[in-house]
Amino acid sequence: MSVEQSRLLTVAEDIEYFSQWWKSESVDTTAIRHGSGILRRLLVEDAAGAGWRSLGFKKEPTIQGPDLLAFFRKEKFDVGLTAGAISAGVRHEGIDTAFLSARSVDNPTTGVLASADVGFAVCVGSAMRDARNPAPSADLDPLIERTWYLHEIPRCSRDDSPGNDSQPSRGNQACCERNGRCSRLKKQFATS
């Protein structure tokens, strides 16, 4: 078997692994840890795209997953006030979780604005659904099951971490804004 054939086989096996993983009702932490490394190689390091191109397919592969920024726009959430957000697309024990987030909001008790350095309130939220009893189509479905071309996937990299003065890579501005906001939230929790 050639090196190229071996790479293609590995990509195919990894995709099959995720196909089986998605069908399972529960995934343990070891599987998540292993799966994270595989996803990084397939998507961030572009093994899936490279395999696709080497087979001569046109365009590029697509995946389905949640669209966090579109969800924020729909709900009128300010990305700059978001401390952390996860666009997950995870099924655990029959529950699909698309989004988890924590953001500062105006404090209803004291009136302190969400944009203040201290004293604001924190709102934690999620978008979930029961996968065991699928409901008819809902208004969030297009945001939860969006089809993405690989180049469209927003990525946060270690280079976009707080303290790095380099220009953020394309699509990572929201990550940088979020990371800057994290220190303000940590300060808020420390004073409350």
Give pLDDT, residue 156. 52
Please tell me the distance from the alpha carbon of residue 109 to that of residue 120, in angstroms, as a whole number.
10
Residues 75-102 have pLDDT tens digits of: 888 888 998 888 877 777 788 888 888 9
R_g of the chain computed on alpha carbons? 19
Instruction: Quote the percentage of the chain above a pLDDT of 70.
Output: 77
Q: pLDDT band at residue 109, thresholds of 50, 70 and 90?
A: very high
Here the tokens at position 61 are: 């592969």
Give pLDDT, residue 108. 94
In degrees rounded to 5, what are phi and psi of residue 95?
-110, 125
Please tell me the distance from the alpha carbon of residue 105 to that of residue 81, in angstroms, as a whole number.
8
Give pLDDT, residue 154. 62
Mean pLDDT over each residue of the chain, to the nearest integer: 76
Long-range contacts of 9-16 (CB under 8 A, 24+ apart): 10/47, 11/42, 11/47, 11/48, 11/51, 12/51, 14/38, 14/41, 14/42, 14/47, 15/42, 15/48
What residues does each domain of the chain span? Answer: 3-60, 66-153+168-191
User: Which 3 state secondary structure label does DSSP give 8?
Assistant: helix
Give pLDDT, residue 43. 83
> Which pTM does this prediction carry?
0.60
Higher pLDDT, 11 or 154: 11
Please tell me the distance from the alpha carbon of residue 18 to that of residue 43, in angstroms, as a whole number.
13
Give pLDDT, residue 67. 87
Sign of CA dihedral 18, 20, 22, 25: negative
